[in-house]
Amino acid sequence: MRILLVEDDPEQLEPLQIALSRSGHIVDGVADGATARWLMGEKNYDLLILDWMLPEESGVDLCQSLRAAGVATPTLLLTAKDTIADKVTGLDAGADDYLVKPVDLTELLARVRALRRRSPLWTGDRLKLADLCLQLDTMRVEWKEISFKLSSKDFQLLEYMMRHPRKILTHDQIEQALWEWGSEPESNAVAARVRRLRQRLREIGVEDWIKSIYGVGYCFEPPKSP
């Protein structure tokens, strides 16, 4: 899931970003509303996590104007404001959920999972292709009798590929989808990640699902049964 996290305090932004990434999400962290607004136009996000007190434009104002512009992305307000009146204001501005800082990370992750389930694009907590099954909540991959937990990086790549099966995915597309905003992938980074995932899958006996299309990219396809 691609998440846009808007938080002006880097001390708070960084651990949140790490925690969310570790759970298999791709998190773009920005410090102000203007950048967030611009990024919203550039990419499709599955979830928006907003701080209330931001420089210049507050998180609530941002949420309100996005809703007014017809943006339906699920939004979670994460703020130090704790009165009932604040909560009402925040939720009425269009937020789908409201959490008061300091928030317990396990609760935050649970809320994020809950919001994903409420998304109109939600297709269940697992992806299945032939006999290969990917649990989105637990980042586990299941193949026949074997169950295996993936690292967040491998999980992100596999999720992306399983969502676009039998399609040619270019290097650029994979970079765009999996790399966080502001991070520069090295020239062979995509190839390295694909190689690692192939290695992981081979360990449980899933072989030759990721095909290389020379000079273009990759294609995820279950091998035709002999």
Partner 1 sequence: MPNWIRLKQWKALPVRLRGGIIIAIPVICLFTSLSAFAWLKASLEEDETVVQHTKLVKIETKRLLTALVDTETGVRGYGLTHREEFLAPYNHSREVIPVSLKELESLVQDYPKQKQRLEEIRTKVDRHLEILQQKLTLQQELKRTRGQEELMVNTALLYDWLEEGKEKMNATRVAIDRFAQEEERLLEVRKQHQVFYRQITWIVLCLSAMIGSLGALLAILLFLQLERELRERETRLQNTNLELELACAQLDRFTANASHELRAPLAAVLSNAQVGLMELEDLTADTTFLHQRLEKIVHLTKGMSTLVGDLLFLARHESLLSLNSLELVNLIDLLGTLTSDWKSKARSQHLTLSAYLPDKLVMVKADANLLRQAVDNLLSNACRYTPAGGLIFLRLNSDNDKVSIEVKDTGIGISPQSLPHIFERFYRVNQTRTKAKGSFGLGLNIAQQIVQAHGGQITVTSKVGQGSTFRVVLPLGDETNED
The contact set with partner 1 (CB under 8 A) reads: 9, 11-12, 15-16, 18-19, 22, 53, 80-84, 100-106
User: Is the Cβ of residue 13 or residue 206 nearer to partner 1 in the bound state?
Assistant: 13
User: Is the Cβ of residue 18 or residue 40 nearer to partner 1 in the bound state?
Assistant: 18
User: Is the Cβ of residue 33 or residue 217 nearer to partner 1 in the bound state?
Assistant: 33
Rg (CA), the chain: 19
In the complex, least distance from residue 11 CB atom to partner 1, rounded to whole angstroms = 4
In the complex, least distance from residue 150 CB atom to partner 1, rounded to whole angstroms = 13
Residue 202 is given by DSSP the state H
User: Is the Cβ of residue 22 or residue 163 nearer to partner 1 in the bound state?
Assistant: 22
In the complex, least distance from residue 4 CB atom to partner 1, rounded to whole angstroms = 18
User: Is the Cβ of residue 54 or residue 161 nearer to partner 1 in the bound state?
Assistant: 54
What's the rounded Cα separation, in Å, for the pair 62 and 97? 15
Asked if 63 and 93 touch (Cβ cutoff 8 Å), the reply is: yes
What is the DSSP track for 17-77? Answer: HHHHHHTT-EEEEESSHHHHHHHHHHS--SEEEEESS-SSS-HHHHHHHHHHTT----EEE
Question: Angle at which helices 33-42 and 59-68 pack, to 10 degrees?
Answer: 30
In the complex, least distance from residue 78 CB atom to partner 1, rounded to whole angstroms = 9
3-state secondary structure of 161: helix
In the complex, least distance from residue 54 CB atom to partner 1, rounded to whole angstroms = 11
